[in-house]
Each structure stands twice: as C-alpha cells, then as structure tokens.
Amino acid sequence: MSAEKRNALGKGLSALLNDSENVLPYKKPNSNNNNNTGASAEVNGLGSVNDIKLSEIEVNPFQPRTDFDEQALADLSASIKLQGLIQPITVRRVNAHQYQLISGERRLRASKLAGLTHIPAYVRTANDQQMLEMALIENIQRENLNAIEVALSFQRMLDEVGLKQEELGERVSKNRSTVTNYLRLLKLPPTIQASIRDGELSMGHARALITVEDPAQQLYLHKHIIQQGLSVRKVEEMVRDLQKLRTKRKENNPSRRRFRYKRYRTI
C-alpha cells in the first residue's frame, strides 16, 4: 500500500476524494447558455462544482448497494423540487461529455424523479480501485444501512481493495472487534442473514446466534425469535442453556469416558 493511501487511513471518504482548498464555490450556469454547462469542469478545473447534464452521468458500476427505498426517494425528490439539491454529487470524468458517478446515487435518482435536467457535481479523478473504495466507504457510512450490507461492504474492502482488518477499521472509524463481528454475520445461514437484512433480527440477536456453532440450532433459535418476538436477553439465555446442555452431553458420552479411561491406564 502506498504512503499516500496509508496517510489517508482513518479519514474516511473525504480523504479518498482528496478535498482541498481549490474547490471553487458553486455557480449556476447562465440560463441563456445551457449548452456550455457540460464543459464547465474544463473551465473551472477538476475539484470544482459544476452543473452537469443528468443524461451525461452513468451510475457507479462498483456501487455495492442496489436496494433503494422508493418512498424515501419520493420524499427526497419532493424536497429537491421545493428547495433544490443542497449537497452536490461526486463524479469522475470519462470523456468530454460523459461522467461516472462516484457517490450520491440516491440524490441522482431523486433528481431524475424531480424532473431536473442538470445537477451540481464535484468532478474528481479516480481509478477503478479508488472508485470501488469510495463507493464502499460512502455505503458503510450511511446511517440506515443494515448490518448485512455493512458486512458485505467490509468483506469487499478486504477482498477487492486489499485492506487488512486493522486498516479497514481505521478507514471506517471502527475498532477491529466491531469489524470482526460484522464479518462473522456472513457465516450465518442465508435465512438468518435475510432476516437481519429485512430488520426482523437486530444486531444483538445476530451476535447471540453467532456464538452457536451448530447451524441447525441457529435456525431453531431463529424460528422462535421470529414466531415469539424474543428479546435479545431471552435469546442470550437460550444460547447459554444450549451451550450448557452441549457440554453436559459431551461429559456424559460413554465413548468419551472410555477414551479417557484408556488414556489414564496408558499413563
């Protein structure tokens, strides 16, 4: 990993975007000369805010999130119609009249719903790996992201960006144990992962289920959590009971006792 990337650790998306003082104030294009808005980035320089045609922006191919709440988009679209888009999106230039989205897909979609033809955007330089890293970090920093989406983003950061868990924790401002707990969610059966994703199970429920080694027992507990609406504390109690029962069965296993006896006689 280069020294420049290491220096950016812990600073999040702003460090990757390389924000600096040369970002110019946003100026709306001349309404009598809208044809020049697509080229305004060349005039102001990379890092400035420009009005870009929506038709010239393609979505980020590395975007890890594909599920967008339709009602939330409609609400954001209504707000944009009334007050405009307050926070610009971020794009990279592909050619003179084509851009690729780095971050802000919700804002882009809502702006299209609102009927806008242009959108304010930061124009940045980024290679494919930086694009992926930016998209993942922006995704992780969302407040409404579910635990499975966070876990999948963490795993992609490890696999595709090549970060170690310590580096990942620094980059997203989380300690290593938190990162590990999220990654362990991906070892749960798909049915349980789906319930976490859909909000039927909390992160507390998930942490309790992770400590159960047997997938069949995990699914058994999952079924009762859903059917009976069990609290996290109740699930933790059930997990402890299962672990005690498992230990007791091992101790009472006749073959295990014979093994210990033979081992003792040999000694």
Q: In what order do the strands lie in the sheet with 57-58?
A: 49-53, 118-124, 89-95, 98-103, 57-58
Cβ proximity of 236 and 202 under 8 Å: no
Q: How many Å apart are CA 80 and CA 216, to the nearest integer?
A: 49
Q: How many Å apart are CA 20 and CA 43, to the nearest integer?
A: 18
Q: Is the dihedral of CA 235, 239, 244, 249 positive or negative?
A: positive
List the catalytic residue out of 56, 105, 138, 167.
105
Strands (E), the chain: 49-53, 57-58, 89-95, 98-103, 118-124
Q: Give me the count of residues in the chain.
A: 267
Cβ proximity of 205 and 146 under 8 Å: no
- Whether 160 is a known active-site residue: answer no
Which residues 6+ apart lie within 8 Å of 192 measured at CB? 201, 206, 209, 218, 219, 222
Query: Which 8-state DSSP code applies to residue 96?
Result: T
Q: Where is 62: in which H helix or E strand?
A: none
**93 in helix, strand or coil?**
strand
Residues annotated as part of the active site: 105
